[in-house]
Amino acid sequence: GAGVSQTPSNKVTEKGKYVELRCDPISGHTALYWYRQSLGQGPEFLIYFQGTGAADDSGLPNDRFFAVRPEGSVSTLKIQRTERGDSAVYLCASSSQGARDEQFFGPGTRLTVL
Amino acid sequence: GNSVTQMEGPVTLSEEAFLTINCTYTATGYPSLFWYVQYPGEGLQLLLKATKADDKGSNKGFEATYRKETTSFHLEKGSVQVSDSAVYFCALRTIQGAQKLVFGQGTRLTINP
């Protein structure tokens, strides 16, 4: 079956622009996570959805970052007024029932802010 | 707070050598522990896990034992292959709230034939 997919695979934007990153989880997975991986570092948690609601958004670095999952499936991570420091690989993961199950990761979106 | 510290890389070994990648953690309570692997051009994959003290996770010849007394989860393999070249991440899963994964910084492993 299909795994977690993320689009686009690469995104280059200019400082100050708005970007949207999309995640399609594995069908039927209710839990969805976003992580950010800076160069040479491990992934860092951003936000967790259980169904449609953001159950934990404590990892979002500031109010320029926002994520939605309106129908409990696809999620979009939105970044306003991008800064060069936002450049990273943004990873999405999903799991079947919730937090205790294995998280399956997508290939990531590489964001470059010029 | 929760954190993971792993052996800095890069690590370069010859084929059939013995591998150890050290990992220690700081956590509230007793989290589940994981090793993830990222092969070139691919996404993160779960390699192995252990959910309680003294558990041993194993997969593809790799092993790691959950050591509560030393708060460690070192990754080992007796005889590495060129195909093991990848970046390895140690991680814990927090026991409260979102039960998010907290990762170490990763160790790049290169195996030469």
Instruction: Say whether pLDDT at A70 is over 80.
Output: yes
Of A41, A45, A56, the CB nearest to B105: A41
A60-69 per-position pLDDT tens digit: 999 999 999 9
**How would you class A5 by CB atoms within 10 Å of its CB: exposed for 0-12, middle for 13-18, buried for 19 or more?**
middle
The pLDDT score that the predictor gives to residue A47 is 96
Per CB-CB distance under 8 Å, the chain A contacts of B91 are 42
Evaluate whether B104 touches B90 at the Cβ level (below 8 Å).
Answer: yes
SS (H, E, C) A8-41: CCEEEECCCCCEEEEEECCCCCCEEEEEEECCCC
Provide φ and ψ at A108, rounded to 5°: 95, 160
For residue A99, what pLDDT is reported?
52
* pLDDT at residue B40 is higher than 90: no
Residues of A with CB under 8 A from a CB of B: 3-4, 33, 35, 40-45, 48, 55-56, 58-59, 91, 93, 98-100, 102-103, 105-108
Q: What is the pLDDT of residue B24?
A: 97
> How far is Cα B40 from Cα B17, in angstroms, rounded to an integer?
21
pLDDT bucket at A38, cuts 50 / 70 / 90: very high
Q: Give the range among A20-29, A50-59, B52-61 with minimum mean pLDDT.
A: A50-59
> Among candidates B26, B4, B27, which has minimal Cα distance to B75?
B4
On whether the CB atoms of residues A59 and A44 are closer than 8 A, the answer is yes
Amino acid B40 reads P
Decide if pLDDT at B72 tops 80: yes
